[in-house]
Structure 1
Amino acid sequence: MFLEDIVLRGYIRLLPLFPSISCGTKQVEYPDNVFFYSQFPQEKELKGEIIELDSIFFRYPFRVRVEGDKVIVMDLHGIDYYAHLFQYPSFRYLSSFGRRGDSPAEMLSIENIRFYNHNIWTLDANKRELIRLGFSSSDDLLLRDEVVTLGEDILRPLDFAIYNDTSFIIPDYSGDSRLCWVNRNGISMSKIGTIPSVKKKALQNARPALAQAWRSFLDYNSHNNVLAMVTQLGEVLEVYNLKDSTYVVRIGENGEPEFKVADGYGIPTGIMGFSDVQVTDSAIYTVFHGTSFKDIAQQSGRLPDGGKYIYVFDLDGEPRCKYVLDHYVCGISVNETTKMIIATDVNSDQPIIKYHFK
């Protein structure tokens, strides 16, 4: 199994028999495009407003996506369905989709959801399928219109972004590169990047394990051609400007993802890092946890899931603002025009939180 099986509670399973790759790093060992940060120029507290929903019970509302008059909430561990469609901004329930099951029209897992050209795309990692859904004539149902089966050379697709009408971007977990470009036939066309780690032994001898430790969430904005990735462990932001081919890495005070391997299991030794990222037209918004796995283990599940921080970076990855929240959240949808953030709180029976920011 892979690092998506990380605990959201504190425990990782990895491919067996890889050597330990937990070790310290020194800033001087990194290349010139790697920069370090420890604080933000601004820090502000945000108070949330709970949006009451009375029609849906969520088990783990991990993602929220808003576009126009529609909002989708993705339930990572949904009982019957993995995603639910609501009217926005009223949050009136419309319908559910992504039925759980192993038939051809059902899903075994869900990783992310994207709006694109009045359609919805989602990823089923267990079936290795990207699925396009279109709105019904009544505009309140989503129907499966297309399935893209991913090639076997794409190792365990755990997230995706839409690059254009004909291709997707998917993280590469072979360890040989960082990102894959995949066409609408599910075929890998090209790969770029490398894992920005200074752990030379791991890069030479345990790349798949290292790639799993560097499991990242990503987002791409076609208006400015900026793609951002944030690590689920540690505190690393990677920014690709696909227009001018520049690449910058920003590492916070918690450093690279850290884990050790024992009896075929990867045990996190650092922190739970980021859980979501959104590239807007002017900034990069991320959800940051910062909880150590030592504390998670000692508290035996009593700690809330999620992060109390939204870190904001400019499009070059420079720290801009740190928002301190009054809820622990996992997913966000940011609207810079209305200055509003919709977030998901997996710890609450009323999991949708609305924040206003300046």
Structure 2
Amino acid sequence: MKPLINILLLLTLLAACATATHEKGMLYTDFPETKELSASTQVLYTALFRYPFRIRVQGDRAVVMDLHGQETFFHLFHYPDFSYLSSFGKLGDSPEEMLSAENIRWNGQSLWTLDANKSELTRFGFDSSGDSLLRQETVGLDKDILRALDFVTYGDSTFIIPDYSGDSRFCWVNREGKLLRKMGKIPSSNEDALKNARPALAQAWRSFIDYNPENGVLAAVTQLGEILEIYNLQDSTHVVRIGPHGEPKFQVSQGYGIPTGIMGFSDVQVTDSAVYAVFHGRSFKEIAQNARRGIHVDGGKYIYVFSLTGEPLRRYVLDHHVCGISVNEREGIILATDVNKDEPIIKYKMK
């Protein structure tokens, strides 16, 4: 009986530790359904990309964002045949050019882009032919907003931007770029970092976000670790889901958070019925070992699907490593970007 007692005691201690560590969120350990998906490659008749990181589709137009674009950051295609139309967002430091590109968002017939290095949001609109997107408006962000790395549009007059000061979770910003208010807190159980190293903690908790105005759901997934947050802006509820890899792990060095755990999520989309997120799950140790062997693969091989209240629904296992996704539930397809391939736009059928 003694070994059994010891085992029960150990399990009790582990359960207590888990509760203490994750008291601010609800754990998930697995998904009730797992499906393997095989991609078809979208043939492109032009070589444009260095690092196609994001893909956004609206109607019969698709825009692909090249994170490391040599001349331009964005490329416009006709959808669904992906015939090339034009490129925009010229790289450069003049007032009409961009130094970096972090994300893109459709808002009606306009496309908003974020330049972190210039701390600017820019709105592009279609020309009369619908084959080009032209710069129409630039919004300089308030100096109190610390290096914006992602954003969503909230209506026609507000942006929501993750807060990397560590003081809150999100900044609400008006159409003129002025900070209106801050919302939420980093849901970490690391009390020491919350008290003494909030900027480093905020860096480690860097998150990719998405918002769906139809259901009022704002989702955030961490680039490190395995954390999903869901904010319902209609009823003011907040759900935190913690996966098996737990919170982002990091060490503080000269005020900066140095990652030590895993690469987590790289994109998220809130549809009308679910939350889809690209998950990597590889440790930095594994990534470094692969690099020493000459293996350089970027992206995640999983798409996790959660309900709008954070319940795990489904895990898709992919045959490619992908970074960005565009989900069309009505057609049952997921478009994705694979930065490792010469033909980087691929398509998965969910049904």
Confirm or deny that 1:174 pairs with 2:165.
Answer: yes
Whether 1:195 aligns to 2:186 is yes
Q: Is the 8 A contact 2:139 2:177 kept in 1?
A: yes
**Mapped pair 1:121 → 2:112:** yes
Aligned-pair CA distance for 1:26: 3.8
Distance 1:263 1:211 in 2: 15
Following superposition, the deviation at residue 54 of structure 1 comes to 1.9
Determine the structure 2 residue equivalent to 1:322. 315
Residue 121 of structure 1: SS of its match in structure 2?
Answer: strand
CA deviations on 1:123-159 (whole Å, 9 max, x unpaired) are 0010010000000001001111111100000000000
State the partner residue of 1:84: 75
Deviation per CA, 1:313-353, whole angstroms, max 9, x where unpaired? 00001100000000000000000000010000000010000
Calculate the TM-score normalised by the size of structure 2. 0.93
**Are 2:252 and 1:261 equivalent residues in the alignment?**
yes
Structure 1 unmatched runs, 5+: 1-24
Query: Is the contact between residue 270 and residue 276 of structure 2 (CA under 8 Å) also seen in structure 1?
Result: yes
Percent identity for Structure 1 against Structure 2? 65
Asked whether the equivalents of residues 26 and 240 of structure 2 are also in contact (C-alpha less than 8 Å), the reply is yes
- Structure 2 distance, partners of 1:230, 1:101, is 31
2:337 to 330, 337, 344: 344
> Does residue 302 of structure 2 align to residue 309 of structure 1?
yes
TM-score by structure 1 length? 0.91
Q: Which residue identity is paired with 1:319?
A: P
Q: Which amino acid aligns with 1:62?
A: F
Structure 1 residues 262 and 208, CA gap change in structure 2 (3 angstroms): closer
If asked which structure has higher relative contact order (CA below 8 Å, sep 6+), I would say: 1
1:29 CA drift (Å): 2.3
The 10-residue stretch of structure 1 (51-60 or 238-247) with the greater mean CA deviation from structure 2: 51-60
DSSP 3-state at the match of 1:174: coil
The CA RMSD measured in Å over matched residues stands at: 1.4
Give the letter aligned to residue 349 of structure 1.
D
The answer on 1:210 being equivalent to 2:201 is: yes
Q: Partner residue of 2:279?
A: 288
Q: How does 1:100-179 map to 2 (within 5 A)?
A: 100-179=91-170
Cα 1:30–1:245 shift into 2, 3 Å: farther
Cα deviation, residue 242, structure 1 = 0.5
Cα distance in 2 between the residues matched to 1:266 and 1:193 = 21
Contact 1:57 1:349 (C-alpha < 8 Å) held by counterparts: no
Deviations 1:92-117 (A, max 9, x none): 00000110000000000000001111
- Partner residue, 1:235: 226
Whichever structure has more helix as a proportion of its residues is: 2
Partner in structure 2 of residue 334 of structure 1: 327
Unaligned runs of 5+ in 2: 1-15
| SS of corresponding position for 2:64 | strand
Distance 1:190 1:259 in 2: 28
- How far 1:268 moved relative to its partner? 2.0
58-67 vs 297-306, which moves further: 297-306
Q: CA deviation at 1:263?
A: 6.2
Question: Displacement, 1:56?
Answer: 2.8
1:57 aligns with 2:48: yes
Q: Is the 8 A contact 2:92 2:99 kept in 1?
A: yes
Q: Give the partner amino acid of 2:95.
A: P
Alpha-carbon deviations, 1:249-300, whole Å to 9, x = none? 0000000000113466643211000000000000000000001101011111
Which one of the candidate residues 262, 268, 271 is aligned to 1:271? 262
Query: Which 4+ residue blocks in structure 1 deviate beyond 3 angstroms?
Result: 30-33, 261-267
User: Partner letter of residue 347 of structure 2?
Assistant: K
Equivalent residues of 1:64, 1:331 under 8 A apart? yes
1:31: how far off?
A: 7.1
Number of aligned positions between the proteins: 334
**C-alpha distance in 1 between matches for 2:41 and 2:133:** 26
CA contact (8 A) 1:33 1:248 kept: no
**How far has the Cα of 1:33 moved from its partner?**
5.7
Task: Find the structure with the greater CA-based Rg.
Answer: 2
| 1:18 alignment partner in structure 2 | none
Cα distance in 2 for partners of 1:261, 1:44 equals: 39
Partner letter of residue 215 of structure 1? R
Q: Distance in 2 between matches of 1:356 and 1:33?
A: 36
